[in-house]
Every structure is written in structure tokens, then in C-alpha cells.
A and B are shown apart, each in its own frame.
Chain A
């Protein structure tokens, strides 16, 4: 009887360096996570992570995280079937630092390489963890915003952002407010939003067919934040008063408003995709997917349609190595390999470019 196969996954397309080991049994389709180690590069409040610094972070921590991934899993390199790495999409310099290290491991250990599409990694991980077999997928993170449905061995993009990703919009607004990036900006925006909600401020709503746009919303939110600082200045002066009828803006209400607006947009396009393909399941993946408010809004929409939302916690929905290991191992089992000379990275790599040979439904 064939034994389960093991893979090491190496992920570093953005500010998280993640390495992990998974095992997958091709006969029973059972997946086991043996280790999932991650180290995040956080830039100071008010700033974002730059490619150069992020790449340096990944190079600095690679061997330490690799050691931890192997020792936690309790395996040696000879147990592995393949080494999987993120081919794209993502930031060029961080991607290629991890690819160089993965290539070196592949040669040192004499194991084949498998280049993985980051988005496909998220989807396969989400399906395994939640058990959703054929859901409409909402993939929301700092770099990507897509509504995806599977058909005939491709994950097809139904709708996507026309400009910046929803997570980028939230992260950059966190910078405007100067709140910490640790553990991640979206988490801190969510905590502030929980304390807000006394008033829903006015922000544009930008759904265009199946697509959406977030850059104008960010610009409008930044303007409201500037207005809030002006109010702070007026009120701190002696006898300072706001104009008759002017609403006092707070960071809490701003975060609340931003979340409600952008998540409503995402729920709308996801619902339209579900109606189109006739699915009752929705799977939310990507870093923004661990936002509880988004899960709640998506859940009530799905409930109204007689279905349910499938989501995972931060261990699996935030970038990690095991999602790359799993998607890579599934491809490996169908005979897919990435020859060393082709083991490059690419900043642009669309979800629907990948042939999903391991699914035949």
C-alpha cells in the first residue's frame, strides 16, 4: 500500500516568511499538518513594508525557520517527496530570496522542486481545513481581492479589484491613523472598529458589475481622517467648538465605517457569484479572511441563501508554508515538476493560469 507523501512548503511572497511540512495520502486523500512555522516582518507604525527590507528579513530568518519546520515535524529531508515554493504572485525581491533558498535545498537534498501559485495555495488549504468541497471562493488579502469559482480544472475569476487589494486599503488606512502593524494592521483596525459604530460616516461605495474598487474609498477615508485631526486641533484650543451639526469623527467610527463599507461590497459580489454558479457554500481565504466582521457579514448572507460560510483562523488564512506545501504536493502527485532552470518567480501570476489537474469534478 502506498504511504502518505510529505512536502516542505516555502512561502515568502509578502511580509511573512512561512515554512511548513504537510503529508497527503493520495489513496485516502487525507491531509495532515506536521509543522507550520511563520515569521512576520513588521515595519514601524505609519509605514509599510518595502520589498528590499522584506527580502532581507526572509534571507535572515530562512535557515532558522527551516530548522524549526523540520524539527517540529520530526522528519529528515530524506522523508520528503518534493520542495514547494511560491512562484508568484507577490513582491519580486522577497519571492526570489525564498526561491534561491528553496533551489539550494532542492539541490542539497536531491528533491524535485514544485513552483506553486500563491492563490491556489490559499484555496486548497481552505478547502482541506474547512471541508468545503466546491465553494465559491472569496480571496482577500493585502495583495489580492478575487471572487473565484471552480469549473473544468481551473479556478476561474468571476470578479476582482480594479485597483488596490482590500487588505492594502485597510493596511494603508492603518498607516494614516498611525496604529501599529503588529500583529497585523487589519487586526488593529478591527479592534478599533469594535468600539465604534455610533455613527456610519459617509464613504463611497464602489462595486462595478462583478468588480470593485478600493483606492477612491481609501482617499475618502484619508480625507475624513484629516478632518478628524482638524477637529482635534479646534477642540484642543481654549473655547474651541465644532460647527453647528458637525459630527465629531473618531478613529473608532472611521475604522467601523471603512470595514462596513468594503465588506458590504465584497459580500455583494460574492453573493452574485454564488447565484450565478448555484453554489450555497462560500469559502473566505487570505489574510483579510480572518476578520470576524467579514465572516459574520458573509455568514448572514450565506444563511439567507440556505448555505453557510467556511473560514479558517489566522494559522491557515494568513500566508503560510503549508498551503504552498499542500498545493505543491497535489500537483506533484499528478506528475507536475518545476525543472531547476525554470524555477523562477513572477510578480504577476493569475489564479486561472494554473491547470488544476488534481480535481476531476
Chain B
């Protein structure tokens, strides 16, 4: 996670790289999370998929890149916390309810 300087209107920036085990899961996370619009006009966000943190080619697209920009640090914190809660849910659903997980018998 990195904080850097943004544009004049949106000076508060936070970026996060979320590595997933497969490209399929990274893409599913992106698609699930980007449907809901950001509620505040004081916050901008972009989601994208990339190959690796340092740009090493050859690796398939397993990383969800998230960038949040806001007018104030307070707005940034509120929006980013809310994103983390949603991301947490998506990851938990993947862990617990993916088809291959469900087809594996659970040990008693």
C-alpha cells in the first residue's frame, strides 16, 4: 500500500495491489467490486488488473490494482475502509464458496 501526491483537486491518494492466486479470481474481484458507484463526488477510484507488482512480464494477470483519490484524508479513509470491507467479503466468498471448494468434502 502506498500513499502519494495526487492532483490539485484530489491531493490525497492511496494505492493498493491485491495479489490473487489466479487470474480468474482477480478478474472476479474486479467485476464484483466495480459495479457500485463511489457514493461521494469528493472521491475518485480506479480498479485495474495487472501482471505483477514490479511489472515483470510473463506472469498472468493476477493482481488487482486499486487507486483511491480524495479531496481530504478523511474522505479517503472513509471510502477506502468501505472498500476494504467489501474486498474482505469477496475474498471470504471465494475461499468458502467457490465451486472447487464446495465439491471437496469437508472433514468432520
Contacts and interface: CB of A to CB of B under 8 A. Distances in A.
Interface of A: 55-56, 59, 62-63, 66-67, 70, 76-78, 96-97, 99-101, 103-105, 107-109, 340-345
Interface in B3-32: 28-29, 31-32
B98 A108 contact: yes
Contact of A62 (B35, B85, B89): B89
Contacts of A66: 93, 96-97
Nearest to B27: A107
B97 A63 contact: yes
B92 interface: yes
Contacts, number: 72
Given A77-B99, A340-B31, A59 B36 contact: no
27 contacts: A55-B85, A56-B85, A62-B92, A63-B93, A63-B97, A66-B97, A67-B96, A76-B102, A77-B97, A77-B99, A78-B99, A97-B89, A99-B36, A100-B32, A100-B36, A100-B89, A103-B32, A104-B28, A104-B89, A104-B93, A105-B97, A107-B31, A107-B32, A108-B93, A108-B94, A340-B35, A342-B35
A341 B102 CA distance: 26
A97 B86 contact: yes
Contacts of B28: 104, 107-108
Interface of B: 28-29, 31-33, 35-37, 85-86, 88-90, 92-99, 102-103
Nearest to B96: A63
Given A66-B97, A108-B93, 12 more contacts: A62-B92, A62-B93, A63-B92, A66-B96, A67-B96, A76-B102, A77-B97, A97-B85, A100-B90, A103-B32, A107-B32, A344-B37
A92 to B, nearest CB: 8
Contact of B102 (A77, A101, A345): A77
Contacts of A101: 89-90, 93
Interface of B is mostly: helix
B107 to A, nearest CB: 14
Nearest to A345: B36
A109 B101 CA distance: 11
B97 A108 contact: yes
B102 A103 contact: no
B102 A70 contact: yes
A48 B35 CA distance: 30
A76 B103 contact: yes
A55 B93 CA distance: 15
Contact of B89 (A59, A77, A108): A59
A103 B86 contact: no
A344 B35 contact: yes
A67 B96 CA distance: 8
